[in-house]
Structure 1
Amino acid sequence: MAASVLGSACGPLRLAVAGMGRRRPPRGLWARARRLPGLAGSGRSVAAASGSGAWGTDRYCLELLRKRDYEGYLCSLLLPAESRSSAFALRAFNVELAQVKDSVSEKTIGLMRMEFWKKTVDDIYCDSPPQQPVALELWKAVKRHNLTKRWLMKIIDEREKNLDDKAYRNIQELENYAENTQSSLLYLTLEILGVRDLHADHAASHIGKAQGIVTCLRATPYHGSRRRVFLPMDICMLHGVSQEDFLRKNQDKNVRDVIYDIASQAHLHLKHARSFHKSVPVKAFPAFLQTVALEDYLKKIQQVDFDIFHPSLQQKNTLLPLSLYIQSWRKRY
């Protein structure tokens, strides 16, 4: 069933792999990674967003996700049928929040939008959601799965704090942001799957942190084009690299060393998450399918010797749907 859904959404899978050019010899596999201590609200009405028909609000969420979070869209397609619409709603909620920072010209407007979503979540738990597609679908998900309000509020609060255009002071600050956004999203996904397990939560914490770090890396070229750099300052200072080096797309060894150290931390989080593999309920595995895309990016950036601006890193992996399906079939993460 999952295969047919994924196939219909993504079209025929093309198995030919093109562009296998010369690769730089990769560095040793993350040898320098440090040890870890311990374990935009649209304002449209439902009618305007979705047209007529009872299916409109869930279709709106699906399309929003397909356009703005394609990897999350693919992963959600492979969830059990009874969990799929709730996962779409949850991820659409995350997309709405993620869009706020780049869609407003003034922080005050961004804060107003965050306040809208805080009130929306409060209203959802009072059974009076606003007539907004994502809000209505999220309300259904909350009712269906008894989702924990605290995780939703954490995502909003952390993204609100992140409205300032400031680089992370250190890697721990980036990890904290990832924990409160990406990991919280995974805790809620586990609840949608009916999983409430300590080992699954530990895995989700590390995968969320890896996701946050990789997202920061992947967005660096885009942010640089807008004269912004958010990479952790402590690692940049360690290697004598300034923000201007990234704005100029400098690719000296010390710049690559910064990317190597940050990417190594994401790799280490994935390794920690997989160390719980035997203790995590199989029912939780679909929530962690995004590790496929994370692993793919980390391998690619290693192959280009941590050149964060290499064009190949911006190309969509046409085999990702197939890789996700295989991982789902194997029941691994």
Structure 2
Amino acid sequence: MSGASSSLRAAFSHCVQQVRNYDYHHYLCLLELPPELRKTAFALRAFNVETSKAMDIASDPRIGLMRLVWWKEAIDKIYVRKQIEHPVAQALASVLSENKISKGWLKRSVEARINDANREISDIPEKIEDLEKYAEDTVSTLLYTTLQAGGIKSAAADHAASHIGKASGLLLLLKSLPYHASRNRHFSYIPAEVAANHGLLVKEGGRSEIHLDSREGLCDAVFEMASVANVHLLKARELSGAVPIEARPVLLESVPAQVLLDSLNRVQFDVFDPRLARGVLGVSPLWYHVKLKWYSWRGKY
């Protein structure tokens, strides 16, 4: 038994380290959770890290896709208590055995990433709503499962989580546009409708492409998408009076979304401005930490 417990401690330690290394702004959010919920939240967030970086770290897209399919199958195995030799899977199995967490939310997040990975380069989302759905499937689901793990049953909290997930997902897609552009996937995350509004959509050879020649057009497109994210944050906060106090630490993830939105505003929505890559989401780590602590101390999100 001591060997098993030692292995499990190592698995959870791995989860914490993965989140700290790859998702630092949310790592700090999770530290504000009650101790009894923190372990589960780190396992869930580490699972998200594994699936979100699957395509990025693969030398071949087919390998990244295989990794995502492996995780989809791993979820099924975990729910029937099959042993999997992977530290994140082991930690996830442990928390799922202790908490009632919907399998559907976990499967939905991986399936959304698989569908995204399967898209052809020429496939451009038509509307912002397509990216909002992707954000809900990959980000809001994390908040839903964390609320479930905390035994928090509140329609208002779920509704706020939906809005925060959509805002966070949209803003992180915007921040990652330079990275995706370097990997020839920038057009995947600017909807055709938005691109057309700002002169970025070009029709060549019977198909549409997005060109980023116009920095002004790109900034305007980013502003339009960021404005939608801002509306989601405002709607989430309008619900705060109905959200139970125990749910608010989970919803602290609105803070990094707001910080990123403010950083985008400061650089006039130029996602290629190097200031966005500095510190934590474009602000100093100290300022980010103080802001997060302030919201946490006041019981706000």
Q: Do the two structures share a fold, i.e. TM-score over 0.5?
A: yes
What is aligned with 2:127? 170
Residues 95-120 of structure 1, C-alpha deviation per residue, up to 9 Å, x if partnerless?
A: 10011111224443233222211221
Residues 62-100 of structure 1, C-alpha deviation per residue, up to 9 Å, x if partnerless?
A: 111110111121111111001111111000000100111
Identify if the C-alpha distance between structure 1 residues 234 and 139 changes in structure 2 by more than 3 Å, giving closer, same or farther.
same
What is aligned with 2:193? 234
228-237 vs 201-210, which moves further = 228-237
Q: Once the 2 structures are TM-superposed, how far is the Cα of residue 203 of structure 1 from its aligned partner?
A: 0.5
- Indicate yes or no: 2:21 matched with 1:59: no
Q: How does 1:226-265 map to 2 (within 5 A)?
A: 226-229=183-186, 230-242=189-201, 245-246=211-212, 248=213, 250-252=214-216, 254-265=217-228
- Rounded Cα–Cα distance in structure 1 between residues aligned with 2:8 and 2:197: 56
Tell me which protein shows more helix as a share of its residues. Answer: 2
- Indicate yes or no: 2:103 matched with 1:139: no
What is aligned with 1:36? none
What is aligned with 2:171? 214
- Indicate yes or no: 2:246 matched with 1:289: no
Q: Once the 2 structures are TM-superposed, how far is the Cα of residue 126 of structure 1 from its aligned partner?
A: 1.0
1:120–1:129 CA contact under 8 A, matched in 2: no
Q: Cα RMSD over matched residues?
A: 1.7
**Letter of the structure 2 residue corresponding to residue 208 of structure 1:** G
- Rounded Cα–Cα distance in structure 2 between residues aligned with 1:220 and 1:90: 25
**Letter of the structure 1 residue corresponding to residue 258 of structure 2:** E
What is aligned with 1:22? none
**Letter of the structure 2 residue corresponding to residue 171 of structure 1:** I
1:216–1:231 CA contact under 8 A, matched in 2: no
1:65–1:88 CA contact under 8 A, matched in 2: yes
What is aligned with 1:80? 34
Which residue of 282, 290, 296 corresponds with 1:322?
A: 290
Q: Which runs of 5+ in 1 are unaligned?
A: 1-46
Q: Once the 2 structures are TM-superposed, how far is the Cα of residue 277 of structure 1 from its aligned partner?
A: 0.7
- Indicate yes or no: 2:275 matched with 1:275: no
Q: Once the 2 structures are TM-superposed, how far is the Cα of residue 53 of structure 1 from its aligned partner?
A: 5.7
What is aligned with 1:98? 52
Q: Which runs of 5+ in 2 are unaligned?
A: 202-208
- Rounded Cα–Cα distance in structure 1 between residues aligned with 2:8 and 2:88: 14
Residues 250-284 of structure 1, C-alpha deviation per residue, up to 9 Å, x if partnerless?
A: 422x3221111011000000011111111111111
- Rounded Cα–Cα distance in structure 1 between residues aligned with 2:85 and 2:218: 48
2:144–2:161 CA contact under 8 A, matched in 1: yes
**Letter of the structure 2 residue corresponding to residue 155 of structure 1:** S
- Rounded Cα–Cα distance in structure 2 between residues aligned with 1:292 and 1:154: 25
- Rounded Cα–Cα distance in structure 2 between residues aligned with 1:53 and 1:195: 30
1:245–1:255 CA contact under 8 A, matched in 2: no
Name the TM-score, length of structure 2 as normaliser: 0.88
2:56–2:64 CA contact under 8 A, matched in 1: no
- Rounded Cα–Cα distance in structure 1 between residues aligned with 2:22 and 2:77: 26
Q: Once the 2 structures are TM-superposed, how far is the Cα of residue 301 of structure 1 from its aligned partner?
A: 1.4
- Aligned residues between the structures: 280
What fraction of aligned residue pairs are identical, expressed as a percent? 38
1:214–1:266 CA contact under 8 A, matched in 2: yes
Choose between structure 1 and 2 for higher RCO, CA contacts under 8 A separated by at least 6 residues.
1
**Letter of the structure 1 residue corresponding to residue 82 of structure 2:** S
Residues 282-327 of structure 1, C-alpha deviation per residue, up to 9 Å, x if partnerless?
A: 1111111121111111112112222221111111131212211111
123-132 vs 86-95, which moves further = 123-132
- Rounded Cα–Cα distance in structure 2 between residues aligned with 1:100 and 1:211: 20
- Indicate yes or no: 2:116 matched with 1:157: no
- Rounded Cα–Cα distance in structure 2 between residues aligned with 1:121 and 1:202: 25
1:196 match: secondary structure: coil
2:190 match: secondary structure: coil
2:26–2:256 CA contact under 8 A, matched in 1: no
130-139 vs 301-310, which moves further = 301-310
